[in-house]
Structure 1
Amino acid sequence: MDGSEAGKAEGLHMPPPTGMRKVEFVAIVAGLMALNAIAIDIMLPALGEIARATGLTEEGGDQNRQQLIIFAYVLGFGAPQLIWGPITDRFGRRAPLFVALAGYMLMAFLCVVAHSFWALLAARFLQGVFSSGARTVASAVVRDLFAGRAMASFMSLVMTVFMIVPIIAPAIGQMILYVAPWEGIFIVLAVWGGLMFAWTWFRLPESLPKAARQSLEIGSVMAAYMQVIRTRVSFGYMLASGLVFGSLFAFIASSEQVFREVFDQGDTFAYWFAGIAAALALSNFANSRLVERMGMRRISHIALFTFIISTLLLTIATLTWGENLAVFFPLFAIGFACFGMMGSNFSALAMEPLGKIAGTASAAYGFATTMISSIIGMIIGAQFDGTTVPLSFGFVILGVASLLVILVTEKGRLFSRY
């Protein structure tokens, strides 16, 4: 059975966990995924201050090295998912989740007492490791209960709620800096982790029956990962997602520099960032309403073409007329909104044929997309030269590369409703 057939067979979905309304289930999954977003976005206004306070500036390093505060966390978030996935398929969803949340809180406190830039990076890396466990569990729980278009629709609702975090997180970070030193940001991260620990402890039941749990033997684990790689649709959309989402990481890491140095909007950076995140949130909500009628492929393929066109126009406009915020912001917001039509659909397409190994599949997808996108994003972010051209041109290249992968994956057939 190929991916599309699996989607038809598994088109129906189960209700939320017993005793829980759908709105609460959406909020819990969004809250777990927000652990990752808030750990990145809340500190964007503080990157320069953290770099100075921990000695990076005194070392005479390249100013772009402050982006390592973001990428250390993202790199920690990537590879460990390959370990968390089989663990959640073997021991269930709840126990690994609580270990991950406890570790997330502990690493936030270690960031507070870090005495050097490199010690902070180490703690951030480990915080990413534990955050990856929570994200793996959240995705696996959703796949335990949903499939196909229903999963894409549910994940779009999750992402709509989740996107509140990047909308408000930079502003929260800025507010913290008004009343406290940068260490206060990590205290807030620890508090968020504690809230999610308590909420899931009392309200999120186990979604993986003992009879459905997988062996943790190396042979079984490797066989599960080989199944992911050999499933054409799953592997293709993992790679395509990793490529195009490199754009997302590149912008997040360099966004402060773009708005402060290129457009001289330092004092209002949080508002511009919130506007772009709001476009993405609206796109996710629209996808939740459209996907069950139009299909994951049709929506995501249209969105990818729109992303390529909008970022190409932005690059041409900048090269022709120079930097102009009135041109940059709307075109960039359109491109960013496309992620809302790609993210949950690419994820659902990749996970659709792999319901029996949802934890491992979630881990493989998270690892592939995070590692590919973070490395690419780090490379593009490091090219920042005081203009937006390296950023927007990098977006065009990644969009085209993602499209080529999808063309191969779908054997040249695009815009299918299935």
Structure 2
Amino acid sequence: MTKQKYFSLILILGSLSALGPFTIDMYLPGFPAIAKDLQTTPARVALSLSSYFIGISAGQLLYGPLLDRFGRKKPLYVGLALYIISSIACASIHSIDALIALRFFQAVGSCAAAVACMAMVRDLFPVTDTAKVFALLLLVVGLSPMLAPTVGGYVTAGFGWQGVFVTLALLGVALLLACLLWLPESYQPNPNLSLKPRPILTNFWRVLREPSFYTYTLTGALSFCGLFVYVADSPLVFMDIFGVDSKVYGWIFAFLSIGLIGASQVNSVLLRRFRSEQLVFGALCCQVAASVVFLLLTVNGLIGLYGTIALLFVFLCCLGFSSPNTAALSLAPFSQNAGSASSLMGAIRMGIGAMASAAVSVFNNHTAVPMVAIMMVTSVVALLILLVGRRYVAHTPATAEAAVAEPVH
């Protein structure tokens, strides 16, 4: 594979994986404007974020078998078309209930991009390189929280919150054209794969029974769920509690994303000396320590705006190490049904994230305590699952697959 082809693949796959996060982050500064326009509260607007997470979780289970049955690109095209239509519809609604419903369908469309991206990484690159590739993708994805809230704040100020959804529709069109023109098909359709419920569920069960999959998928999902909680509650924490405006909020969000991006790239360097399993364990230990300190300071009212930003920065740095490694370790055992495995991994991650983001809205008490408490609890549970589950992982998946997995050019 030439360097130019490698770069173009990373750019397109990274953009596909960033579509969902960009769709989430870009409309966050518009929460107050949406609430005012639709005569509701920011907490109710946050339910449209929870419905988006639910849509991603459910949609990923749908796309996995389709990607294995029809190849990667056809289901991707259908999903992007649904995303474009739903984005346009979101710009024309007049009630919060309609926004909540349409965000679900927008998510179902966008998650085709996420699942296809994960599966194509497993198709196109050797298993020993997947952690590095996921880290590179995270670099592209990391531009989303840097750019999306800032862009969203200015678009909302200039064109209203409806302009955000029009912009997202145009982004979907651009991605669809890029996939049509430059993205190769990485997997031959398998006409023998049944789309009946029983074989699909049997295949999912086969994936779930793999110790490496359930250990690292659950660990990654619970550790990463702190990001969902932060995204869901950050408009309340920064704009309502600390009183910053939408533009300043966008810059804070962009700054915090540097932790996630920077750590993911340091992770690529550390992989030359350490195994993914070691990096996941170290990152989780740091994440638990940071979240415990964060909760103690928040409960006792000993932390202000800058302290909150600092501890969130540390927390996101930990995710930059754990996320690409747990993803790579989860998918490493699978070559024939990577689509199903990646969709199941994504569904579990998004499902847990959706429940956590809904919980932070339910327990909202106009303080940062619910957000920080959920971040701490999920981090501790993730570490416990890793400590117990890795006893059942008989060998390093990457080592087992390296001899048989070859990249598809």
Report if TM-score (shorter chain) is over 0.5: yes
* CA distance in 2 between partners of 1:55 and 1:389 (Å): 27
Match in the other structure for 1:100: 79
Q: CA offset at residue 338 of structure 1?
A: 0.8
Q: Distance in 2 between matches of 1:321 and 1:412?
A: 42
- Which residue of structure 2 lines up, in the alignment, with residue 379 of structure 1? 359
Matched, 1:274 2:254: yes
Kept after mapping to 2: 8 A contact 1:153/1:292: no
1:394 aligns with 2:374: yes
Tell me the SS of whatever aligns to 1:178: helix
Give 1:77 shift: 0.9
**Alignment correspondent of 2:112:** 133
Corresponding residue of 2:143: 164
**Counterpart residue number, 2:284:** 304
**Is contact 1:137-1:359 (8 Å) kept?**
yes
Cα contact 1:107–1:126 (8 A) shared by 2: yes
Matched residues in 2 for 1:319 and 1:133: separation?
40
Matches within 5 A, 1:307-322: 307-322=287-302
CA contact (8 A) 2:276 2:325 kept: yes
Match status 1:236 vs 2:215: yes
Q: Is the 8 A contact 2:70 2:190 kept in 1?
A: no
The answer to whether the 8 A contact 1:260-1:269 is kept is yes
5 Å-filtered alignment, 1:107-126, equals: 107-126=86-105
1:108–1:127 Cα contact (<8 Å) kept: yes
- Quote the Cα distance in structure 2 between the aligned partners of 1:112 and 1:377: 23
Q: Deviations over 1:364-415 (max 9, x none)?
A: 00111110121122203432323222222221111110111111211299xx
Partner SS for 1:410: helix
Q: Select which of 27, 40, 58 maps to 1:79.
A: 58
> Which shows bigger deviation, 175-184 or 207-216?
207-216
1:166 and 1:327 map into 2 onto residues whose CA distance is 20
- One-letter identity of the residue aligned with 2:145: P
* Aligned-residue offset at 1:263: 2.0
Structure 1 residue matching 2:391: 3-state secondary structure:
coil
Residues 69, 190 of structure 2: 8 Å contact kept: no
Cα contact 2:90–2:99 (8 A) shared by 1: yes
Higher mean C-alpha displacement, 371-380 vs 340-349: 371-380
AA of the residue aligned to 2:71 = G
Partner of 2:326: 346
Partner of 2:404: none
Counterpart position of 1:8: none
Aligned-residue offset at 1:264: 2.2
Deviation at residue 198 of structure 1 after TM alignment:
0.4
Q: Hey, what's the Cα distance between the residues in 1 that align with 2:326 and 2:191?
A: 26
Residues of 1 paired with 2:160 and 2:251: CA distance? 21
Q: Which residue of 1 aligns with 2:17?
A: 33
In the alignment, what sits opposite 1:144?
123
Segments of structure 1 that go 5 or more residues without pairing to the other structure are 1-14, 58-62
| Equivalent residue number for residue 5 of structure 1 | none
Among 192, 213, 233, the residue aligned to 2:171: 192
1:257 equivalenced with 2:236 (yes/no): yes
Higher mean alpha-carbon deviation, 181-190 vs 310-319, is at 310-319
- 2:26 corresponds in structure 1 to 42
Distance 1:212 1:140, change over 3 A: farther
Structure 2, gaps ≥5 residues long:
400-409
Task: Tell me, in whole angstroms, the C-alpha distance in 1 between the residues paired with 2:334 and 2:285.
Answer: 27
Aligned-partner Cα distance in 2 for 1:395–1:31:
27
Letter in 2 for 1:127: Q
| Aligned residues of 2:156 and 2:162 also touching (Cα < 8 A) | no
The answer to whether the Cα contact below 8 Å between 1:104 and 1:190 also exists between their aligned partners in 2 is: yes
Work out the CA distance in 2 between the residues paired with 1:106 and 1:346.
33
SS of structure 1 residue aligned to 2:40: coil
- 1:270-328 Cα shifts (integer Å, max 9, x gaps): 11111111111111111122224311111111011111111111222233452312322
Q: How many residues align?
A: 396
Mark the CA change 1:20 to 1:91 in structure 2 (over 3 Å): closer, same or farther.
farther
**Which amino acid in structure 1 is aligned with residue 27 of structure 2?**
M
Equivalents in 1 of 2:169, 2:347: separation in Å? 24
TM-score, normalised by the number of residues in structure 2: 0.92
| Corresponding position of 1:245 | 224
Contact 2:68-2:189 at 8 Å conserved across structures: no
- For residue 356 of structure 1, the aligned residue among 315, 325, 336 is 336
The CA deviation string for residues 51-106 of structure 1, in whole angstroms up to 9 with x for no partner, is 2212324xxxxx42221121111111111211110001000011111111111000
Q: Which piece of structure 1 moves more, 85-94 or 229-238? A: 229-238
Worse-superposed segment, 241-250 or 338-347: 241-250
User: Do 1:381 and 1:391's aligned partners in 2 also have CA atoms closer than 8 Å?
Assistant: no
Query: What's 1:216 paired with?
Result: 195
Aligned to 2:183: 204
Q: Which amino acid aligns with 1:280?
A: L
Q: Which amino acid aligns with 2:6?
A: K
Q: What's the Cα RMSD here?
A: 2.1
Deviates more, 1:389-398 or 1:156-165: 389-398
Relative to structure 1, the CA distance from residue 120 to residue 140 in structure 2 (aligned partners, 3 Å threshold; closer, same or farther) is same
Tell me, in whole angstroms, the C-alpha distance in 1 between the residues paired with 2:200 and 2:302: 52
Whether the aligned pair in 2 keeps the contact of 1:73 and 1:127 (CA below 8 Å) is yes
Encode CA deviations 1:201-245: one digit per residue, 9 max, x unaligned.
010111002469744344432221111111011012222222222
Query: Identity across aligned pairs (percent)?
Result: 29
What is the CA–CA distance in structure 2 between the aligned matches of 1:358 and 1:213, rounded to whole Å? Answer: 16
